[in-house]
Amino acid sequence: MTTVTPANGSPVRVALLRDGAIVADDWLPPAEQSPNDGEARILTLTQWQGAACPGDAAVQLEAGDDLEPLLAALAGLPLVAVHFASFTDGRGFSLARRLREAGFIGELRARGQLLPDQAQYLQRCGFNALEFTDPERLAQAQERLSVFSNGYQGAADQPLPLFRRRA
Amino acid sequence: MYRYDDYDQRLVDERVDQFRDQTARYLRGDLLEAEFLPLRLQNGLYVQRLAPMLRIAVPYGLLEARQLRKLAYITRHYDKGYAHISTRQNVQINWPRVEDVPDILEDLASVQMHAIQTSGNCIRNTTTDPLAGVAADELEDPRPWCELIRQWSTLHPEFAFLPRKFKIAVCGSAEDRAAIHSHDIGLEIVPGPAGENGFRVLAGGGLGRTPVIGSEIRPFLERRHLLSYLEAILRVYNQHGRRDNKYKARIKILVKAMGVEAFTAAVESEWERLRDGPTTLPEEEIERIAGFFRGPAYAALDPAAEAAVLEAHCASEPIFANWVQRNSHDHQEPGYRAVTVSLKATGNPPGDVSDAQLDCLADLCEAYSFGQLRTTHQQNIVLADVRESDLLALWRGLQAVGLACPNAGYLTDIICCPGGDFCSLANAKSIPVAEAIQARFEDLDYLYDLGPLELNISGCMNACGHHHIGHIGILGVDKKGEEFFQVSLGGSQSKEASLGQILGPSFRREDMPDVIETLLRVYLDHRLEDESFLEALRRIGMQPFKDRVYDNGNAR
């Protein structure tokens, strides 16, 4: 496990940017084996469906996954993760917006191969948690959450397009 | 034209800072080549055969004098003193240094310009009719819609990593001068049942290796829904477009694979979730943007007096009269004409313009066309608002810098990509073919006798030179390391859009002028009175052309 030292000085385990702050991760990443009892581990969609879709689980979607099976359970899920196999695969951005538009209010996390330069777009599409395994990139992502002071479009973070906000 | 407010300006300024940071991290080794690649592409920066190439956005082709002067300065200061007008109405410079690009972007931002999304797998510059706002056959000026689309698509957080590039064009006139049938999305402004104009929506058109004419997915869309509907199309494409093969990743392949009906159903179902949401355009916003494009302060002219002056000028200068006849167009406003400045003089690589010419165009448009001009997807320039009595003075000014070539719309007004001289994708050099053809057909009487003719050349099947929709199309192909050229006939970018059909085996570069001459002889032998090349071809078919060309033994 990597450690990082955020601005407040105390080192934390593993790299996670949540709601703009670098914090310790309280979830384990998906594994091939189903989790042990009491273990806070993110499930793959297949594992989640295999376990009869528990309403309080954390579930990871792959870019091409269909949202439909998840929609009925969204209200109770504490965490949905979207896995990016490649940073150039933009499907996860649309998945995130669909999830937020469907009313999901839990933690929406982007994992996988991401660039710090994508942090703000990810956030605008509704991700509030970003995983970067490299601590330097994690810090870079944090710095790049507000590169642009405004966006033209409405999105998950600001539903009103600029044309409804121009002073 | 549209003017930035503080929001717009801050956004391009922040983009400059962002790219300066990205370039610095790349040059330091913090960003890998593969990571920097999509970031630089989304700022228009390619790495080409000889040097990087920077593509500067010219939203729907509109430029004003101070922007032209800035472009002239940039080509002089950072490049080799010339720029190239692309078939997306953008401006390209071919010799910048990577480390200079952040400074170039900063210079551009100082005149409300940028290079955002001029390349990469994202929504590109929206293009339109270069005669927008002045064309006599116009239903509605498409530029306010282009600007609304520009803002919506600029730095859109959801659509920056699409399967492939994405191009939108808007047409608002009877004749389609924006080639909307060969775009990922084509929008045609049409009258609605309740009297208010809206959009006919086409999707899945495109050129490239698999050329396709766009399919209608909605006969009428109310205008306030434009952006949410575009968002629905893009979302369907982003989620379902192929990502495993870049040659099958354009939306045209998705539309074909799903079928137009299923694709349309998917879009409509996505749109049901988005329609009437905050992205719905309020009437005030449509009006606000339209206000930027109201015509300039035209003088109240006596059309008869203007016409008389023009007639007298024409009588005294036959060469000028010819240029007026070939390169000027009817205008909505009495006493005014729109003028095409051809960048296709023989010996000039099609679409290239020097720094001195840019400065001169800035002066001329200030003097005679309200300080603005347009770039065209035919790689020319249009001065849209010229008084008839000013045409002679404008012509003299253009002549002085070699920009008065009277060939707009004729054979030698060739659309041509930069080709193998610059582009690392090209199979073949396209510019020398264009130059050889221009040199062969320098005789103006012969040129005019041939009538309107579109000859388009692409150096490879990416089709930047739009060869599929040229009346005559030429495509550079590679055969075991040697350059050959394939000819197609019958393409058209008009509302009766069609894709050219391949004539037969390809030709050597040195044979191309002969091949074209032979094709034109067949046309001249067969044409009926006033029949254009395209009309004659559609009537007699390919065979007479094939027979004559291949009997001559040009094929390899």
pLDDT, tens digit, 9 for 90 and up, residues B174-194:
999 999 999 999 999 999 998
Architecture of domain A15-164: 3-Layer(aba) Sandwich (3.40)
pLDDT of residue B552: 59
Contact check, Cβ <8 Å, B158/A120: no
CA distance B282 to chain A (A): 8
- Measured CA to CA, the distance from residue B230 to residue B235 in angstroms comes to 8
Confidence of residue B497 (pLDDT cuts 50, 70, 90): confident
Q: How confident is the model at residue A48, as a pLDDT?
A: 95
DSSP string, B39-83: HHHTTTEEE-SSSEEEEEP-GGGEEEHHHHHHHHHHHHHHSSSEE
CA distances from B141 to B4, B156, B190, B295 (A): 20, 25, 12, 10
Q: Is the pLDDT of residue A37 over 80?
A: no
Q: What is the pLDDT of residue A10?
A: 44
> Quick check: helix, strand or coil at residue A78?
coil
B278–chain A nearest CA distance, Å: 6
Q: Which range is least confidently modeled, A25-34, B127-136, B402-411?
A: A25-34
Average pLDDT over residues A147-162: 96
Give the separation between CA B458 and CA B477, rounded to whole angstroms.
9
Q: Is the pLDDT of residue B427 over 90?
A: no
Note the Cα A91 to chain centre separation in Å: 13
Residue B495, pLDDT above cutoff 90? no
B275: phi > 0 → left, psi -120 to 50 → alpha, else beta; which? Answer: beta
Is the pLDDT at A3 greater than 80, yes or no? no
Question: What value does the mean pLDDT take over residues B479-490?
Answer: 94
Residue A5 has pLDDT above 80, yes or no: no
Closest residue on chain A to B233 (Cα) = A94
Higher pLDDT, B419 or B105: B105
Chain B residue set in contact with A, beta carbons under 8 Å: 5, 7, 10-11, 14-15, 17-18, 22, 31, 35, 38-39, 121, 151-152, 154-162, 227, 235, 238-239, 243, 273, 277-279, 281-282, 285, 288
Token pair listed for A45: 């969609």
**What pLDDT, in 10s, does the model give residues B235-277?**
999 999 999 999 999 999 999 999 999 999 999 999 999 999 9
pLDDT given at position B95: 87
Work out the mean pLDDT of chain B and round it to a whole number. Answer: 95
Contacts of B277 in chain A (CB under 8 A): 154, 159
Give B303-400's CATH code, choosing from 3.30.70.20, 3.40.50.300, 3.40.50.11540, 3.90.480.20.
3.90.480.20
Q: Which CATH architecture has domain B415-551?
A: 2-Layer Sandwich (3.30)
Shortest distance between the Cα of A123 and any Cα of chain B, in A, equals 9
**What's the rounded mean pLDDT across residues B545-551?**
94
What local confidence, expressed as pLDDT, does residue A7 receive?
A: 47
Which one is the CATH code of B6-109: 3.20.20.80, 3.40.1390.10, 3.40.50.1820, 3.90.480.20? 3.90.480.20
The mean per-residue pLDDT over the stretch B133-146 comes to 96
Q: Extract the tokens encoding B216.
A: 């209608």
Half-sphere exposure of B511 (CA within 13 A, CB side): 19
- Of B63 and B422, the one with more pLDDT: B63
The tens digit of pLDDT for each residue in B336-392 reads 999 999 999 998 999 999 999 999 999 999 999 999 999 999 999 999 999 999 999
What is the DSSP code (8-state) at residue B116? T
pLDDT of residue B553: 56
For A43-56, how does the pLDDT look when each residue is reduced to its tens digit (9 = 90+)? 999 999 999 999 99
Residue B268 contacts residue B357 (beta carbons within 8 Å): no
Residue B49: band (very low, low, confident or very high) from pLDDT cuts 50, 70, 90 = low
Please say whether the structural domain B134-290 has been given the CATH code 3.40.50.2000.
no
Q: Is the pLDDT of residue B151 over 90?
A: yes
Distances (CA, A) of B350 to A10, A43, B58, B415, B533: 62, 58, 18, 7, 22
Domain map (residue ranges) of chain B: 6-109, 134-290, 303-400, 415-551
- Are B161 and A125 in contact (CB < 8 Å)? no
Give yes or no for residue A15 having a pLDDT over 90: no
pLDDT tens digits along B306-338? 999 999 999 999 999 999 999 999 999 999 999
Mean pLDDT of A59-72: 94
A-B CB pairs within 8 A amount to: 95
Region of poorest pLDDT, from A23-27, A127-131, B471-475: A23-27
Question: How near does any CA of chain B get to the CA of A79, in Å?
Answer: 21
The whole-number pLDDT of residue B50 equals 66
Closest in A125, A162, A164 to B157, CB measured: A125
CA separation (Å) from B201 to B176, B214, B232, B312, B496? 14, 9, 12, 46, 16
CATH topology match: B303-400 vs B415-551:
no
Contact present, A109 and A123 (Cβ < 8 Å): no
